[in-house]
Amino acid sequence: MTVTGLIGRICMFPLRLIINTCVALRIHPNILTFVGLLINVLAAFELARGHFIRAGLIIIAANIFDFIDGKVATELDAVSAFGGFWDSVIDRFSDIALFLGLIYLYSHLGRTDYVMITAIAMMFAIMTSYTRARAESLIKKCKVGFMERPERIVLFMIGAFTNRMAAVMWVIGVLSVFTVADRIIYTYRELRSSEQVIV
Amino acid sequence: MKNPVSLPMRVLWNGFFWTYERATWQYDVMVIAILAFVWLTPPSWLGDPMASGSGPVGWLLRLLIAD
């Protein structure tokens, strides 16, 4: 087993408990998704105020909701097409909220350079999701590239808890650019090969 | 036939054009590289608006030297 696989298994124990509680209380997964967004907005406020540790703790709480909504939906037999759509849309709002919190902080500190770096990281984080969604309307699957949402969120937590948010913005920015490029290249190749098959 | 692309170039290309799943050894290597960059790069090199000093590694070294 890999190190990241082991960490994932260990984290599943407390999450299992929360999932079981939500299932027992029959909380609708769409509500869990929305509560996750509200908590993320709270985290964004803390980021904007420069309270990184507090923001990190709130991001953990928010992402527990974000992680369990799909599992609760499956166990309550409440999986729906709208639920998937709702989850994706709310995820984008949550992403943008966190980046906006940092943009506010850096602009308040008069650091235009980091306002731009964070804005570029935000733009490519959103484009990462958009390129996959658009590609999968044309091809079967487009799951290439490293920097997806779980990686971004874990990096936000690491940046917050160890006060290394600037380095994290560089990593998210650069790897999101790569991820978007990967998805464009992959989609181009897939479409070209399918066109060749038809011809 | 011998592969004309050298190993370092292949490693670079596979790092850029990422197709590996999570919980693979390639994923672990990438995570270690990212964490090394985040924690080992001194904040002053990046002009970090919120952090200064040598970070957790420096703190650990100071702790070891003090003992």
ipTM for the assembly: 0.86
Q: What average pLDDT does the segment A128-136 reach?
A: 97
Higher confidence at residue B29 or residue B66?
B29
CB pairs under 8 A between A and B: 84
A77, A91, A95, A113: which is the annotated catalytic residue?
A91
Higher confidence at residue A41 or residue A2?
A41
Top residue of A1, A2, A108 to mutate, by most chain B CBs within 10 Å, is A2
**To which residue do tokens 């998805």 refer?**
A183
SS (H, E, C) chain B: CCCCCCHHHHHHHHHHCCCCCCCCHHHHHHHHHHHHHHHHCCHHHHCCCCCCCCHHHHHHHHHHHHC
Closest approach of B39 to chain A, Cα-based (Å): 7
pLDDT at A60 over 60: yes
- Contact with chain A for residue B22, Cβ under 8 A: yes
How remote is the C-alpha of A106 from its chain's centroid? Answer: 21
Indicate yes or no: CB of B38 within 8 angstroms of CB of A113.
Answer: no
Mean pLDDT of chain A: 93
Tell me which chain B residues have a C-beta less than 8 angstroms from the C-beta of A1. 23
What is the reported pLDDT for B1? 47
* Contact in structure between A5 and B29 (CB atoms under 8 Å): no
The residues, ordered by sequence, that sit 6+ positions from A55 with a Cβ below 8 Å of its Cβ are: A43, A44, A46, A47, A101, A160
pLDDT in tens, B15-27: 999 999 998 999 9
Domain boundaries, chain B: 7-66
Domains and CATH numbers, chain A: 16-198 (1.20.120.1760)
Banded model confidence at residue A137, pLDDT cuts 50, 70, 90:
very high
Q: What average pLDDT does the segment A25-47 reach?
A: 95
pLDDT at A46 over 80: yes
